[in-house]
Each structure stands twice: as structure tokens, then as C-alpha cells.
Amino acid sequence: RESKHHFVSHMMASGREEEEFFSELYSEERIAAFEKLSGEGYIGSQGQAVTEEIAPLLRLKEGDRVLDVGSGIGGFAFYLAKNFGADVLGLDVSSDVIRAARRRAAKADLGKGRATFDEIDVMKVVFSPATFDAVVIRSALMHFPYKNKAPTLKRAFEWLKPGGRLMLNDMCTVQDISFPELDEHMKKRHWYLLSLSECQQLVENAGFRCVEIKDRYETYLRLINEEIVQVEDRREELLRDVPKDMYEETLVHWKWKKGWAEKKAFTEFYILAEKPQ
């Protein structure tokens, strides 16, 4: 074990490299498989469970405008639109992901809300100041190179209306140490993790006032274990629709995350923050 950041200090990828990685990871075929394994509207673990936990904290009203950074195939955006009447704009860098989100939006029951999606990097998009009532960055900041994390949060602050809320839901390191044996996997997955206190500092430095900070360690472990058991129990059913290699790849990755979380290499958290009036 060595001091933190050792295992990612050499992994500063360009935006182009990351875009290529996620475009390959989330091809149309793989999106369909991951959604079967993760649940409708999601391509990663714990999607709906976390959505139901954090969405009410945004205190949205009908017609509120929400920016969803790293929106994936739309599960969170659809939930906000249908349950709160929000007008949600989702951003993602993968063209296949955005196409999938748009197809699902066309068929989704969004109630009085709306969900639209654009393929663009959050560091390149332009919005007028005070455009949004809420900004959500979920399972996305961890993939941004360190140099882009603070600027992203500062842009979010500028785009929010006074009193608007930021929800940052992501992974972070748990201890002031790291595990060098994680290097190769972290490099492949483009994970650039900070500690929870460092994430809080970034949020506050951008101008936000933190309202609630939660380390979801115990809940994260419980939910990912439940998902692993469920996917294993449904193996025969799932393999009718999911290629065997993608089924096994997902299961191996989830077990990898569970194992390293149990070693307290990383955990999941959320920070709810507000732009002062």
C-alpha cells in the first residue's frame, strides 16, 4: 500500500481517449445486455435503488429544469420527469448511449415532465448563467481527469439558479491509503477517485454550501451483494437475452467492486449542496 492517488496518478487520459473508451464499452449490443442485468433504464449497478434514495432530496417542482451530467440511457432522468414533472436535459459522451436514451424517451411515460438528451462533453457545452434548478452528476465525476473535476463543478455552480441544488453521487476512496494492485483495473476503467473530504472541498471551493454528505458504504455493500445474488439466481433466464461473455463480464466486475469495497479501497457517497441565494 502506498499514499493515496498513487494508483491513478499516471492515468490522466485525454478527453478523446475517454470518449473512445466509453463508446466502445457502451456499444448498442452491450447497452442492451447491461440493461437486462442492471434494470430498465440503467447500465450499471444499483441504478433504481439509488435513484429512489437521492431524487427526493432535490426538492423538485413541476417544470423545474434539471441538468443530468453522465445521464446514461436515461433511467434517472425519466424518474425525475415522471415523478416530479421536471424538464431534464441529459448529457453523455457516447453516441450509442444517447441514441438509446432518446429511443427510450420516445416510448416512456413521463407524465407532465420531459427528458431530452445531447451527446456532448460537459466541458464543452455552453449554457447561460442561472439556467437550471438542479444539476445532477452521478457516477460521472469519477471518470473525469483530476484537472477537469474542479472546472466541472464551477460550471455547474454558474449554470444553477440561486438556491439551486447540486447532487454529486459517485465513488470515492475510503482511507488515506491506496492499493497499488488496483492499478491495471483502474486504468482500464478510467477511474480517478478522490476521498470524500476532497470531493467536499471541491464542491465548497466551487461556491456551494453543503447541505448533506452521506457515506453509503454499508448500503452500497448490501445492495451490490443483493444484485450479484439476483443475477446468479436468474442466470438461465438472463442468458436467453444476454451473451454469455457479457453476463460473465458484468458479474466479475460487480464481484470485483464488492471485494475491493469490503477491503475499504473505495465506497459510494453523495453530496447534496446548494447555491446560496
pLDDT higher than 50, residue 10: no
Encode pLDDT of 232-277 as tens digits: 999 999 999 999 999 999 999 999 999 999 988 899 999 999 999 9
Q: Look up the pTM and report it.
A: 0.89
Confidence of residue 7 (pLDDT cuts 50, 70, 90): very low
Region 124-150 average pLDDT: 95
Distance of alpha carbon 214 from alpha carbon 274, whole angstroms: 15
**C-alpha 186 chain-centroid distance:** 16
Beta bridge partners of 37: none
Encode pLDDT of 76-97 as tens digits: 999 999 999 999 999 999 899 9
List CB contacts of 94: < 8 A, sequence separation 6 or more.
19, 22, 23, 25, 26, 119
What percent of the chain shows pLDDT beyond 90? Answer: 78
